[in-house]
Amino acid sequence: MFRYLLFFCLISYGYSRLPSGYSDFYARHKLYYLSSIFVHYLNLTGAFEDCFNKYEFFGFFDLPCDMFNQNPQNITCMGYLMASVDDEAIIIVFMPTMSDLELHQEEYFYNMTMPFPGGGTVAKFWYNGFLILWNGGLRDAFFTAKNKYPNYELWVTGGSMGGCLASNAAAYISQMGFMDKSQIKMVSFGQTRVGDAVFAERYPNLVPYAYRIWYNNAMNEGDSYIECDEGESQNCSDQIPKNEWTWDDHKTYFNATGYICIKGNGSKI
């Protein structure tokens, strides 16, 4: 049996209940496709043609984020920023874990934290990686896009390590007042916790569009899912014993349909 956990932001040990608003269509046919481009496509603009009638690309960023500074070219944080005219959205996408070296550093620094603006602490590796990208060109691309499309909302997404970067990015942009929180959608896939309980309690206020969704099935079109409103609950993925955990559940979502991006306005679905 396949069991999948889709994170619209899994943060820490508990968080407040959020208003209902999850859309399978929006996650399946927009954000998952964009977060998977790094793995399945070498030509980003070619992939965008499958997803959008009209879009603008603002930049691709690939910067060393090795915490040991020993192999800076082997451990990098990566992302891109674009705008979908179809969806009236500025979109930031972050790369997943791409090598064993990256995974080892994520595990090594998992319990090393640093303060997050406004309160709480976050895992050092992912927050540091986000700041490297932000200060290394992503910030300028964001404000260029925002100035050109001031009424667009912001989508932030990524899978695995990219989900952790996305979670930090959405909260940071909201905390710093760079965009109103009502205009931010953060969607991540296979993301681990990135912050402590204080950060988790603050997150629903920073990014209201954040849900934890669990599919106890193959995630085919029309399959049922559960919105998990407690930090830890036997009603959701905690009920699965560790001996049934599998990497396949971490790497694949929405079955084969996950790679079908539907052109048009997905944000209003």
CA pair distance 254, 187, nearest whole angstrom: 14
CA pair distance 125, 165, nearest whole angstrom: 9
pLDDT in tens, 203-232: 999 999 887 788 888 888 889 988 877 666
Residues in CB range of 67: below 8 A, 6 or more apart: 105, 108, 109, 124, 125, 128
Question: Could you tell me if 168 and 14 are in contact, meaning their C-beta atoms sit under 8 angstroms apart?
Answer: no
Instruction: Look at residue 177 in the predicted model and tell me its pLDDT.
Output: 97
Tell me how far CA of residue 130 lies from CA of 80, 204, 213, in angstroms: 12, 20, 24
Instruction: Look at residue 171 in the predicted model and tell me its pLDDT.
Output: 97
Instruction: Look at residue 14 in the predicted model and tell me its pLDDT.
Output: 31
Question: Could you tell me if 212 and 236 are in contact, meaning their C-beta atoms sit under 8 angstroms apart?
Answer: yes
Instruction: Please state the domain extents for the chain.
Output: 4-259
pTM reported for the whole predicted model: 0.85
pLDDT (tens, 9 = 90+) of the chain, 269 residues, equals 334 444 444 433 333 323 347 888 888 888 888 887 655 545 677 778 878 889 999 999 989 887 776 555 678 888 999 999 988 999 999 987 666 676 667 676 777 889 999 999 999 989 999 999 999 999 999 999 999 999 999 999 998 888 999 999 999 999 999 999 999 999 888 888 888 989 988 999 999 988 778 888 888 888 998 887 766 667 777 777 778 777 777 777 887 655 677 776 654 44
CA pair distance 256, 258, nearest whole angstrom: 5
Instruction: Look at residue 169 in the predicted model and tell me its pLDDT.
Output: 97
Fold category of 4-259 in CATH: Rossmann fold (3.40.50)
CA atoms within 13 A on the CB side of 103: 6
